[in-house]
Homo-oligomer: A and B are copies of this chain.
Amino acid sequence: MAVQTVANTGNPTVDLGPAAALSCRECGHRVPLGPVFACEECFGPLEIAYDFSAYDTEELRKRIEAGPANIWRYAPLLPVPADVADKPNINPGWTQLVKADNLARELGVTGGLYVKDDSGNPTHSFKDRVVAQALEAARAFGFTTLSCSSTGNLAGAVGAAAARAGFRSCVFIPHDLEQGKVVMAAVYGGELVGIEGNYDDVNRFCSELIGDPAGEGWGFVNVNLRPYYAEGSKTLAYEICEQLGWQLPDQLVVPIASGSQLTKIDKGLQELIKLGLVEDKPYKIFGAQAEGCSPVSVAFKAGHDVVRPQKPNTIAKSLAIGNPADGPYVLDIARRTGGAVEDVTDEQVVEAIKILARTEGIFAETAGGVTVGVTKKLIENGVLDPSLTTVVLNTGDGLKTLDAVAGTGLTATIRPSLDSFREAGLV
Contacts and interface: CB of A to CB of B under 8 A. Distances in A.
Interface stretch (A183-191, A274-282, A374-382): A183-191
B164 A411 contact: no
Interface residues of A, number: 83
A353 interface: yes
Interface string A168-197: 001001010001101110111111111111
Interface string A393-423: 0000111101001101111111111100110
Contact of A402 (B180, B202, B208): B180
A122 interface: yes
A360 interface: yes
Given A410-B175, A414-B193, A164 B361 contact: yes
Nearest to A424: B193
A79 interface: no
Contacts of A184: 363, 398-399, 402
A264 interface: no
Interface stretch (A50-58, A90-98, A337-345): A90-98
Contacts of A413: 175, 193-196
A189 B363 contact: no
A258 interface: no
Query: Quick one: copies of this chain in the complex?
Result: 2
B183 A408 contact: yes
Contacts of A173: 410
Interface of A: 69, 88, 90-91, 94, 96, 98-99, 101-102, 117, 120, 122-124, 156, 159-164, 166, 170, 173, 175, 179-180, 182-184, 186-197, 201-202, 204-205, 208-209, 212, 214, 353-354, 357-363, 397-400, 402, 405-406, 408-418, 421-422, 424, 426-427
Given A160-B362, A184-B398, 11 more contacts: A122-B362, A160-B363, A163-B358, A173-B410, A183-B405, A187-B408, A189-B358, A191-B412, A193-B424, A194-B410, A205-B417
